[in-house]
């Protein structure tokens, strides 16, 4: 088990006061995979990551990272885990090349070539002081320092926050290259669906502290489907449709999004008695938004997490 998964949680739960922010999370990150962790603001992603890194205790349940209980990670364990946090902490008075030297002296493993390459990709002058750098450039130095430590597992919490498109591309390319150069795993929390689709091979979706989807990205995309129906009112109000995740009005029609649609789904759509029904494409973004929008509307959820 330990070898196959770099992260495992068992009924991981966290309350703040009386409020459950992470609920009964059973989640595993297979070694060598890049998992995109998605969820609306406040879904519990950062709280989960803080528990994984041992910065916050679970109220119930537990989690392991690289086979070790997160609550008791040793400095040696931590050196195998790279993580970046919002704000990209760096010493403002250091020059970029001093950041590199500082990293080299404080990390047991250090890949200077990786640092150089990442910094170059972000267009950063190594003679510049951190305080002179833009937000995107600071993110680049922070990421370069993290990756140069050659962690087995990288945990990134919203690393693209506030980055321009060029810096975002540099970030994505750096992550992809990092994964290509070894048996490395990444947990990437982000709101940028394009980036997740480009970089990740698995997707996990949290809604109100629960994990609703945990799947290979391709499988997730393939199991979702949709159709457009023309009716006078929301067709799902009177007719429960098996597998339906979400419905939304599109002009004078309704778009219905399904997970694992089957004959029962088709029969239920038929019973609506719509004037017109036609299949409609569901993109990765549509599929994710179907789950997320459903939560915002306060419906109960489709509970089948994909394998
Ligand atoms: N220390 C704390 N005390 C009380 N509530 C907290 C604390 N930390 C987080 N929360 C609450 O827990 C909920 C989940 O927060 P969390 O930061 O995990 O969400 P998130 O999914 O990372 O959101 P975002 O996408 O906005 O970063 C939020 O409602 C937040 O206000």
pLDDT digits (tens, 9 = 90+) for 40-61: 999 999 999 999 999 999 999 9
The arithmetic mean of pLDDT across residues 233-261, rounded, is: 84
Whether the pLDDT of residue 188 is over 80: the answer is yes
Q: What is the pLDDT of residue 57?
A: 96
| pLDDT for res 163 | 82
**Cβ(209) to ligand 1 under 6 A?**
no
pLDDT band at 307 (very low <50, low <70, confident <90, very high): very low
Task: Give me the pLDDT at residue 279, please.
Answer: 85
Q: Checking phi first, is residue 78 left (phi over 0); if not, alpha (psi -120 to 50) or beta?
A: alpha
CA 130, CA 137: separation in Å to the nearest integer?
9
**C-alpha to C-alpha distance for 76 and 262, rounded to whole angstroms:** 50
ipTM score for this prediction: 0.97
What confidence tier does 305 reach under pLDDT thresholds 50, 70, 90? Answer: very low
Q: Is 231 in the pocket of ligand 1 (CB under 6 A)?
A: no
Strand order in the sheet with 68-69: 19-30, 5-16, 60-65, 68-69
pLDDT value of residue 174: 87
Distance 158 CA to ligand 1 centre (A): 13
39 lines ligand 1 (CB under 6 A): yes
**pLDDT at 86 (0 to 100):** 55
Tens digit of pLDDT for each residue in 59-68? 999 999 999 9
């Amino acid at each position: 088990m330990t070898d196959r998964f770099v992260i495992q949680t068992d009924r991981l739960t966290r309350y703040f006061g009386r409020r459950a922010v992470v609920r009964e999370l059973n989640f595993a990150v297979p070694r060598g995979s890049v998992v995109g962790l998605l969820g609306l603001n406040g879904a519990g992603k950062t709280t989960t990551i803080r528990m994984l890194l041992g910065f916050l205790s679970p109220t119930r349940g537990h989690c392991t990272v690289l086979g070790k209980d997160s609550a008791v990670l040793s400095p040696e364990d931590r050196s195998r885990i790279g993580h970046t946090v919002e704000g990209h902490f760096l010493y403002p008075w250091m020059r970029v090349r001093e950041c590199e030297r500082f990293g080299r002296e404080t990390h047991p493993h250090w890949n200077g070539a990786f640092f150089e390459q990442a910094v170059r990709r972000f267009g950063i002058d190594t003679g510049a002081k951190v305080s002179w750098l833009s937000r995107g450039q600071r993110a680049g130095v922070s990421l370069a320092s993290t990756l140069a430590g050659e962690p087995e597992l990288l945990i990134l919490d919203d690393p693209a926050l506030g980055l321009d498109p060029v810096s975002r591309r540099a970030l994505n390319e750096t992550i992809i290259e990092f994964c290509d150069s070894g048996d490395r795993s990444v947990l990437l929390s982000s709101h940028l669906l394009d980036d997740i689709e480009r970089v990740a091979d698995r997707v996990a979706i949290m809604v109100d502290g629960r994990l609703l989807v945990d799947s290979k990205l391709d499988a997730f995309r393939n199991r979702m489907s949709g159709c457009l129906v023309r009716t006078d009112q929301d067709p799902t109000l009177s007719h429960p449709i098996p597998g339906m995740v979400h419905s939304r009005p599109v002009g004078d029609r309704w778009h219905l999004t399904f997970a694992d649609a089957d004959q029962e789904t088709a029969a239920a759509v038929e019973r609506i008695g719509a004037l017109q029904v036609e299949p409609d494409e569901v993109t990765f973004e549509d599929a994710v938004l179907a789950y997320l929008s459903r939560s915002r509307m306060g419906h109960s959820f489709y509970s089948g997490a994909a394998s």
